[in-house]
Amino acid sequence: MIRNDDLETLDPADWDEFRQLAHEMLDEALDMQHDIRDAPAWRPIPESTGARFREGRPLDGIGTQAAFADLRELVLPHPTGTLHSRFWGWAGGQGSPTGMVADMMAAAMNSAAGNFDDAASRVEAQVTQWMKEAMGFPEAASGFITSGGSVANLIALAAARDAHAPEDSGRRGLSGGPPMVFYASSETHSSMHKAAKMLGLGLDAVRTVPVNDAFRMRVDLLAPMIEQDRARGLHPFAVVATVGTINTGSVDDLEVAGEVARDAGLWFHVDGAFGAIAALSPHTAHLVAGMSEADSLAFDFHKWMFVNYEAGCVLIRRHEDHTRPFTTSASYLAPLPRGTAAQPDPGNLRGPQLSKGFKALKVWLALKDHGFDRHGRIVWQNVQQARRLAEMIDASDTLERVAPVALNVVAFRHRVSGLSDADADEFNRELLMRIQERGIAIPSHTIVHDRFTLRACIINHRTRMEDLDILVDALESIGREVLSEMGGVGAERG
C-alpha cells in the first residue's frame, strides 16, 4: 500500500527558498513596467533563443531555480510590446500594475469562476453590474465576462440567432429553414465572419453593407437590403453596427442602424470592442449615442479599459435570450440550495466555457483602484493624442492620412513618387517593419482602399506627447533610408 512518505506533491520542498525566488520574480515584474520607457518597444527573438523553444519536453524537472532562470532569460525579454508607451498596434492595451497583482492573486486563489458560490461569482456579477450602468443598459440585463471581443461577439450572435431561429432549431439545428442572414458593414471585424462560420450560418450569412467616405456604414441602404433579401426568401435576423472599426476607428450611426433594426423586427448588436469605452468620457459619449438601445453589446476590458490580457464582456438586454444558446441539463452541474454549488445563475449557461479563470478580479481591482472617471479622462487624452498625430501627419511633406480621425485611430502612409503602387506598398511595409524591429514604436498595418496602410490606434495610458514626435521623426528618417535603397525619387507633397 502506498504510504504518506511515498506521496509526491507540487508544493515546494523548501518554502523559504521558493518565497525568496517568488519575491525576486515579483520585483522583476514591477521593474519591467516601471522601466518600460527605456526599453525597446519590441525585440526580435534571436535564433539562439528560438532554438531553446524547440527543445523537447522535460521528463525530469530542472527545479524551480533553473526553471525561473529560463523564464528570465528566454521569455521575459520578449513581450508583444503592449506595455510600451509607443505601442499603438492593432487595438492592444497595456494593462496596469494593479491588474497584474490581481491576476497573480486570481492565480493564487485558482477559482473556477462563475459556476459556484464563491467570491469569483460575486465579483463578476458586480463588475457586469457596473458595466451595465456605465453603458446605459438596464439593470436586469445579462452580463458575462469573456476572453475578449471575439467571444463576446460570438455569444451575442448566438443569442441573436436563437432568438430568431425556428423554435425547435436548438434540437434539430438550422437545416431546412430559409437561410438566416445578418447585416454588417464592409468594415466589420473579422470576428463576426468567424462567428457566422462557427454558428453554422456560413459566410454568405454576412450581408455586407457598403460604407461611405468616412468608413461608416451606409445606413440608408439597410432597410432596402433587408426588404430585398426578404423578397428573395432569406431570413434576416440581425443588424451589427461597430463603434470603432479596426481599420480606421470609424463609428457607425448607431441611432439610425438601431432604428432600422427595430422597425424591421431584427436584433441590434453593437461591436464596441474598444470604441464602446468612449461612453466613459463626457467628451466622446455623444459618439456612442444609441448604443444603450442595443439588444447586445460586446466590448473588451483588455483594450481601452487597460485591463491585463485577457478579458472582454458581453451585455445582453434580456436574460432569457442570453441563456437560450447555452442551456443544457447536466445533473452534475445543477445548482443546490446551499454549499459550493449554490449558484443560481451559473456562467456555463451564458457562454461556451464551463471552467473559466477569475478574469473579473483584475477588472474589479483596477476599477476600484482607478475609478471609472480616470478611465474616461484617459480615453479623452488618447483621442486628443490621435488628433495631434493627425495634425503632425497633415503638416508633414512626406506623410499622408487616408481616413478621418473619428476616435483614436490614425490611418496613414508615407508618400512616394517614382514607384509603382505595388512598390509603394512594399516601401511602406518595409518602413513599418524597420520601425518595429528597431524597437522604436509599434504602429500596425492594414489595407485601406486596396493600398498597404499604417495605422496608430492610440489605446495607451503611457503615451506622452513626445512619443508622437519620435514616431513621426522615425517615419521620415527611416523613410528616406528605405527610399534610397529602393530607388524611389522623393516623397514631396504632390
Ligand X SMILES: Cc1ncc(COP(=O)(O)O)c(C=O)c1O
Binding site for ligand X (CB under 6 A): 90-91, 148-150, 153, 189, 191, 242, 244-246, 271, 273-274, 300, 312
User: Which spans in 60-142 are helix H?
Assistant: 64-70, 97-109, 119-135
Structure-block grid coordinates of residue 334: 445543477
Q: Kindly give, in sequence order, each residue whose CB lies less than 8 Å from that of residue 338, ignoring residues fewer than 6 positions away.
A: none
Q: Kindly give, in sequence order, each residue whose CB lies less than 8 Å from that of residue 16, ignoring residues fewer than 6 positions away.
A: none
CB of 457 to ligand X, least distance (A): 8
Q: Which is nearer to ligand X, 191 or 343 (CB)?
A: 191
Q: Which is nearer to ligand X, 242 or 460 (CB)?
A: 242
CB of 7 to ligand X, least distance (A): 42
Rounded Cα gap, residues 273 and 54, in angstroms: 35
CB of 188 to ligand X, least distance (A): 8
Q: Which is nearer to ligand X, 190 or 228 (CB)?
A: 190
Return the amino acid letter for 13: A
User: Which spans in 71-118 are helix H?
Assistant: 97-109
CB of 153 to ligand X, least distance (A): 6
Rounded Cα gap, residues 43 and 27, in angstroms: 22
Q: Which is nearer to ligand X, 113 or 314 (CB)?
A: 314
CB of 428 to ligand X, least distance (A): 21
CB of 247 to ligand X, least distance (A): 9
Return the amino acid letter for 132: K
Q: Which is nearer to ligand X, 165 or 184 (CB)?
A: 184
Is residue 451 within 8 A of residue 288, CB to CB? The reply is no
Q: Which is nearer to ligand X, 82 or 191 (CB)?
A: 191
- 191-228: b (≥16 Cβ within 10 Å) or e: bbeebbeebebeeebbbebebeeebbbebeebeebbee
Return the amino acid letter for 265: G
CB of 90 to ligand X, least distance (A): 6
Q: Which is nearer to ligand X, 103 or 271 (CB)?
A: 271
Rounded Cα gap, residues 428 and 469, in angstroms: 19
3-state helix, strand, coil in the chain (%, to 5): 45, 15, 40
Rounded Cα gap, residues 259 and 253, in angstroms: 10
Rounded Cα gap, residues 246 and 72, in angstroms: 34
Q: Which is nearer to ligand X, 135 or 246 (CB)?
A: 246
CB of 205 to ligand X, least distance (A): 18
